[in-house]
Chain A
Amino acid sequence: MSAASNGHGPITGSDRVKRGLADMLKGGVIMDVIDPEQARIAEEAGAVAVMALERVPADIRREGGVARMSDPEMIESIVEAVSIPVMAKARIGHMVEAQVLEHLGVDYIDESEVLTPADEANHIDKQPFTVPFVCGATNLGEALRRISEGAAMIRSKGEAGTGNVVEATRHMRAITGGVRRLTQLDPSELHAAAKDLAAPYDLVAEVAELGRLPVVLFTAGGIATPADAAMMMQLGADGVFVGSGIFKSGDPVKRGRAIVEATTHFADPEVVARVSRGLGEAMVGIEIDTIPAEQRYAGRGW
């Protein structure tokens, strides 16, 4: 691309542009899809982006084994099928899966605990990439560590594939409560807060000033109904990821659309009530206590 008139030429991959795409997704729903047909249904339902993956978390959970990046062919078929942004998942710490996804031209990479971690100590160094990353977090310190590594968007982890919103609630409250506590501290107390959060001081001070994360905060992991989505928005989410909740339900077209509408009008119970009518079967939910600790995804990553 040649230089623009009278100024600096185009610069790709800046933090501003990477975070900027997430800013454009605010107030929207990002849906897990496993094939082009589901991707088109998601776009038609009003999704702002799709997450391309071979198995939704509920199936990964049921089938077990090592979960990896999806087949490039499958990801490309979804990129071809829709005009909205396409995200895809890389394993925690697997920089080569991320390089492959960037090469394929996905719009966002999710360094995801839903896949089996490839590195138990280190996450991907995300700064050098041109493609932006979204990462999961269970609390404020974890969110800030991911941002320090270069994440341009954060999602609360929840517990994917359960259809149970309780963990999403826990993580959203941990992150937003952590932010609110920082805003109340004296500046001299922020250094100790950074130590306690195990997060860089500069980011801690920035959050204390902004009263929010410096990047967009979505929620994920267990959202199954329009009311779940609206609840997460009322708890301070900027948007919603829905994984298994749509295509594991009885009527994905109707439910997808209903979750989108409830996210848009999250403060309006009349809308949430209207779209919640006659949705058919929700996905079967799982009590968190019945999942053995080693099979819970939220504990992956640090």
Chain B
Amino acid sequence: MTRLPGERLDRRPAAAGAPADRADPADAAPLVGVLALQGDVLEHTRALRAVGVRPLPVRSVADLEAVDGLVLPGGESTAISRALGRAGLDEPLARRIADGLPVLGTCAGLILLSDELVEDDALPRPGGIAVRTRRNAYGPQTASFDVRVEVAGLDGGPMDVAFIRAPRIEAVLGDAVDVLAEVDGAPVAVQQGARIGLAFHPEVTGDLRLHARLADLVRRRTGR
């Protein structure tokens, strides 16, 4: 298997006492992809494994067709968008999302899931959540922040999350979208059917309750 950027440099599996980056997943568990063209793929892969599903880095159409759910990770949305087109994944991805594939997008992933973008609306992306989003809305990196945020329907108190050159949802465009959380009056977590979009990075801080929600959506759809 190809090393994911950020993964351990010693590839010997199960080296004595070493924490495994690739614990063996249960064979019967649903297969959930992480779009692996650029960004924090590794963090999402670990998060999925921790919530009991089998992660698969998705780089090709064959990978995409194999999965029961998908994470669109954090990263640079322009770079991921271009890589989607060059890998021939753009149309297949849009089709699978339109067909109801459960999907979780964080930060750049939210941008790719947004039906409208302020200023950058020409950026090729699948869409799927009826929101209007502004890329990099909080300013330069010095404005990136950690914060705790209350998310609707999650037990266990507020989530500890990071906003990193984050996008901001400026408008919700339809009744189909549920706003799960807000910061400063702007939605930062939204859900439309089986699609969840987050302006922040729970995978960076390790609060995996929304990954668990994705896994539940996948299990409900696959019956596994």
- Chain A residues in the interface with B (C-beta under 8 A): 1-2, 4-14, 16-18, 20-21, 23-28, 43-49, 79, 83-85, 102, 105-108, 130-132, 176, 179-180, 183, 209-212, 216, 233, 236-239, 257, 260-261, 264-268
Contacts and interface: CB of A to CB of B under 8 A. Distances in A.
A6 B82 contact: no
Given A48-B76, A83-B78, A183-B18, A261 B86 contact: yes
Contacts of B15: 183, 211
Contact of B145 (A2, A12, A47): A12
Contact of B38 (A27, A132, A268): A27
Contact of A5 (B8, B144, B183): B183
A23 B142 contact: no
Residue among A18, A107, A267 with the most chain B CB within 10 A?
Answer: A107
State the main secondary structure of chain B at its contact with A: loop
A23 B204 contact: yes
B43 interface: yes
A102 B142 contact: yes
A4 B147 contact: yes
Interface of B: 2-3, 5-10, 15, 18-19, 36-43, 59, 74-76, 78-79, 82-83, 86-87, 107-108, 120, 135-136, 139-150, 158, 160, 162-165, 181-184, 201, 204-205
Nearest to B82: A46
Given A8-B147, A23-B204, A85-B141, A212 B9 contact: yes
B3 to A, nearest CB: 7
State the main secondary structure of chain A at its contact with B: loop
A265 B59 contact: yes
Contact of B147 (A11, A210, A237): A11
A210 B83 CA distance: 30
Nearest to B38: A27
A33 to B, nearest CB: 15
Given A28-B79, A210-B8, A264 B38 contact: yes
Contacts, number: 182
Contacts of B120: 83
B10 A183 contact: yes
Contacts of B42: 26
Contacts of A17: 144-146, 162, 164
8 A-B pairs with the lowest CB-CB distances in the bound complex, closest first? A7-B148, A211-B8, A10-B145, A107-B141, A238-B5, A26-B5, A6-B150, A105-B140
A238 B78 contact: no
